Amino acid sequence: MTETLGFWVAAVVLVAASLAVVLTPNLFHAVLWLAAALVATGGVFLLLDSPFLFGVQLLLYAGGVVTIVVFAIMLTERLVGESIRQTSRFVFNGAVLAAAVFVGILGFLLQAGAVTRPAAVGDQLGDLGRALVGPFAAPLQLLGVLLVIALLGALYFARAED
Amino acid sequence: MPLHAYLVLAALVFVIGLFGVLTRRNAVGILLGIELMLNAVNINLVAFSRFRADLAGLIFTLFTIAITVAEVAVGLAIVIVIFRVRRTIEADHLDLLRG
Amino acid sequence: MRIGSPELALLVLALPFASFLAIGLIRPLRRRGRPAAAVSILAMAGAFLTAGAMSWQGIPVARGLNPAVLWTWLPADGGPMASVGVWVDGMAMQMCVLVTLVSLLVQVYSWSYLADEPPPSLGRYYAYQSLFAFSMLGLVLSPGFLQMFVFWELVGLCSYLLIGYWYDRPSAAQAAVKAFWITKLGDLGFVAGIVMLWSGTGTFDFWPLFQAAEGGALHVDGLTTIMFLIYLGAVGKSAQFPLHVWLPDAMEGPTPVSALIHAATMVTAGVYMVARAYPLFALVPSVLTLIAWVGAFTALLAATMACVERDIKRVLAYSTVSQLGYMMAANGAGAPEAAFQHLTTHGVFKALLFLGAGIVIHHFHTNDVFRMGGLFGQRPWVGGSFLVATLALAGVWPLPGFFSKEAVLAGVLHAHLSVPFLMLLATSFLTAFYMFRVVFLAFFGHAPVHHEHPEPPVAMDAVCRALAVLTLALGLRAAVASHHVEGPAWLPWISLTWAFAGIALAWATYQAGRLDPARLAAAFAPIDFLARRRYFLDDIYGGTYRLLLLGLSRVVGWVDRYVVDGVLNALSAGALRAGDALRRIQTGQPQDYVYGVALGVLLLLVWAQLG
């Protein structure tokens, strides 16, 4: 019962926040709405018995990404000297296409049968940790490399002009 | 809640993100749309992972989040560079690749 | 049958070749001119002496002995495909002596004749001369068709090079190209013929072919076609109708070259080849008859053209064509010995005629016989030499032309070829007429008013005298020797009568003034008209060539312009237009690409659900 309630709350918040992200004219507000959507997503993760991912979501996404975007917006606004309004183009076309894709996906979902939810695993975090250093050790290392490269790349792009 | 509920929710968030990507003029706005789409994917992955009792979905989600962070960092760096050079981040005006 | 020493034959070949290599490769020697000439003349003198010694030493042998010495060539599976070597029989040795002698004399003559040439040109000239001598000797000594063909083409090349010696004159360059192409036309037949013969018999060599032919063991399909094709080579090289048109134009080359190549030696290669391969031709009577008819017709046709020609060298050129027709007629009539005899005597006195004509041209500074006159009084020695050669060509006793012509006529008569015989008789009348026309116009009559009369250089004079003496000696030897020509007793008389009739007509027309040349021409108006225009053969060739080549090039041009280019243009225009249309898709706006991706996803979804 709590799960159902939680889901609906999270779902409504998530959808509403998402819509706000794509519709708000103010870019800064959009970022804040994104933070809300990300937190709601974290709630969904909680509902799916993944508290660890919830933590990661809050820390990295809601914390990291939103911070970076806010920085970027502030930086560009400082450069341009005015608050950036964002406008939309071809709203109708975009809505139709997005709706069409949604209907397409829905068609798939309707065809699929129901799946029962298995019982929750006891030590999910432990299993996750073992999997990361076990079978997924190599991708994890590659991921680390990727992050370093991304960091260097971002630094390179954003460096001050000589 | 059944799996379908999560999947429909994810699909909804995904198309909202798609809508944002398609309609936003501002490059940062487009990036925000992409973030929404990636989130929807994450919801899908976690939901499947939970309902199929398979840890791989969780791990993929972790990776997606990490990669997203990197992508946002690089993407925003590019946006700033573009802004410096072109004095705009309106995607409409960024059409150097036009044939 | 006599055979000679193959070692000496190789030496005869090696001397001019070494001279060619030395002049060709040692640049300072060639650029100096005179030293190159000396080297070439010395080598030629050596070759002449060697050839003489070889001929002298030649030992008579029984008929069944192979006169060839062979080395294998073109190794292939199952034995060599061909061989090279020397074939030293009596005919080859006699020919070697003739070639080396005339070459030597011509080279000595050229020393003076081309004295005004710049030294590098002179070196080039003597390099060609040496190469020619080598090639001609190689042709003469060939023991097989393949080697003969190789040297055959080499002499053709030398002919081309020497006709075009003054290559900065457009007419000479054109004549060289014309000679080359027209002889090539015949050579195509020649090479096709020998390849077909090879595929039928498996050998290029004369000896096994002759053995089989004489033993009746030569069974080749289409031998008639093969021999006809081989004969085509001779038609081109020996200027037989209808491929004779190159020879008069070949007179654009220096006069000594005309004497050597286009009178005495190279043009007789066709006659020599047919005489050499006679055992094979004997198997195909139809081709032989054709050879005789074409030869006689060529003789008559060329003689009529010689009667109206004003250029002294061209008169001699037509006369050469005419005499080659005689030789070929003898070949065709089954008398290759007569053909060969006429070939050798003609080689000597025709060389003399050309070299004498060179002095005449040198004297009058013109080739036009109507602007000459009275040379006999001023230069009796030159006139005498020229007269001796003219009498020999006209066939007057006791000069060598008389005997060889009689042999030819007897051979033709013996083969019951009455129409060719009559043609040849008419030709001998015309020969006497046109030669004495030249003699009376150039050597007698009134000397034109002239600014200077240069003394002919000693070398040129001496060479002419030597040849005149040789002509006389040959004639006297033939007269003294008991000559036994198989023919009716009236034959020598009738041919002499015709010759004197021709001389008399020429005298009456051009010397005594009893007959008006214009009226004489009017009496034979159609022939005169045609002969003056060379029977339109050059025009026909030119027209055909132009028609074919221009027609072909128009077709090719049209295809290229409209079909090939059209396809390419259509392709490029299509590509451009398609690219232009596709270009619009590329707006450069990222979101439009996202639209594309989303539409693609949608399509995939629809397709997956419907499928």
What is the DSSP secondary-structure string of C517-544?
HHHHHHHTHHHHHHHHTGGGHHHHHHHH
Confidence of residue C94 (pLDDT cuts 50, 70, 90): confident
Contact C605 A111 (CB under 8 A): no
Tell me: do A82 and A160 sit in the same domain: no
Distance from CA of C572 to the nearest CA of B (A): 18
The chains in contact with chain C, meaning 3 or more Cβ pairs closer than 8 Å, are A, B
Q: Is A109 on the interface with C (CB under 8 A)?
A: no
Identify whether A119 is part of a domain.
no
Rounded to whole angstroms, the Cα distance separating A151 from C402 reads 113
Q: Report yes or no: A61 and B65 within 8 Å, Cβ to Cβ.
A: yes
Q: How many domains does chain B have?
A: 1
Identify whether A31 is part of a domain.
yes
Residues of A in contact with C610 (CB under 8 A): none
The pLDDT tens digits of the residues spanning C24-63 come to: 888 888 888 888 888 888 999 999 998 888 888 877 776 6
Tell me: do A69 and A143 sit in the same domain: no
Identify whether B12 is part of a domain.
yes
Rounded to whole angstroms, the Cα distance separating C491 from C263 reads 27
pLDDT value at residue C484: 61
pLDDT value at residue C221: 81
Of B1, B19, B78, the CB nearest to A94: B19
pTM of the model: 0.65
Q: What is the CATH number of the domain that holds B58?
A: 1.10.287.3510
Q: Is B94 on the interface with C (CB under 8 A)?
A: yes
The token pair that represents C492 in the structure block = 């020598």
Identify whether B14 is part of a domain.
yes
Identify whether A41 is part of a domain.
yes
Cis-peptide, bond into residue C398, ω within 30° of zero: yes
Q: What is the CATH number of the domain that holds A33?
A: 1.20.120.1200
Tell me: do A157 and A97 sit in the same domain: no
The separation between CA C488 and the C-alpha centre of its own chain, rounded to angstroms, equals 34
The pLDDT tens digits of the residues spanning A101-120 come to: 898 888 888 887 777 888 77
Tell me: do A147 and A76 sit in the same domain: no
C interface mutation test: which of A22, A88, A101, A102 has the most C CBs within 10 A? A101
E strand or H helix at C539, and its extent?
helix C537-558
The chains in contact with chain A, meaning 3 or more Cβ pairs closer than 8 Å, are B, C
Residues of C in contact with A107 (CB under 8 A): 605, 609
Q: How many domains does chain A have?
A: 2
Q: Which domain holds residue A139?
A: 124-162
For C196-305, list the strands marked E by DSSP: none
The token pair that represents C264 in the structure block = 């005495």
Percentage of chain C modeled with pLDDT above 90: 6
Tell me: do A100 and A138 sit in the same domain: no
Q: Residue C523 above 80 pLDDT?
A: no
Contact A158 B77 (CB under 8 A): yes
- Exposed/middle/buried for residue A150 (C-beta within 10 Å: 0-12, 13-18, 19+): buried
Q: Is A137 on the interface with C (CB under 8 A)?
A: no
What angle (nearest 5°) sits at the alpha carbon of residue C188, between those of residues C85 and C306? 100
Q: Is C547 on the interface with A (CB under 8 A)?
A: no
Average pLDDT over residues C536-555: 83
Q: Is A38 on the interface with B (CB under 8 A)?
A: yes
Identify whether A12 is part of a domain.
yes
Identify whether A116 is part of a domain.
no
Tell me: do A31 and A62 sit in the same domain: yes
Which residue from B minimizes the CA distance to A64? B69
Residue B86 CB partners (closer than 8 Å, separation 6+): B93, B94
Residues of A in contact with B81 (CB under 8 A): 157-158
Q: Residue A51 above 80 pLDDT?
A: yes
Indicate the average pLDDT of chain C: 84
Identify whether A87 is part of a domain.
yes
Q: Which domain holds residue B19?
A: 3-93
Contact A104 C606 (CB under 8 A): yes
Identify whether A160 is part of a domain.
yes
Identify whether B47 is part of a domain.
yes
Count CB pairs under 8 A between chains A and C: 24
Q: Report yes or no: C417 and C371 within 8 Å, Cβ to Cβ.
A: no
Contact C595 A97 (CB under 8 A): yes
A interface mutation test: which of B21, B26, B37, B82 has the most A CBs within 10 A? B26
Q: Residue B94 above 80 pLDDT?
A: no
Which residue from C minimizes the CA distance to B22? C591
Which residue from B minimizes the CA distance to A27? B29
Contact C589 B30 (CB under 8 A): no
Of B26, B58, B80, the CB nearest to A84: B26
The token pair that represents C95 in the structure block = 């020919």
Q: Report yes or no: C88 and C9 within 8 Å, Cβ to Cβ.
A: yes
Identify whether A117 is part of a domain.
no
Of C582, C588, C594, the CB nearest to B22: C594
The token pair that represents C85 in the structure block = 């070597």
Look-up: residue for tokens 């917006």?
A73
Q: Is A41 on the interface with B (CB under 8 A)?
A: yes
Confidence of residue C486 (pLDDT cuts 50, 70, 90): low
Tell me: do A64 and A5 sit in the same domain: yes
Q: Residue C134 above 70 pLDDT?
A: yes
Q: Residue C487 above 70 pLDDT?
A: no
Rounded to whole angstroms, the Cα distance separating A44 from A47 reads 5
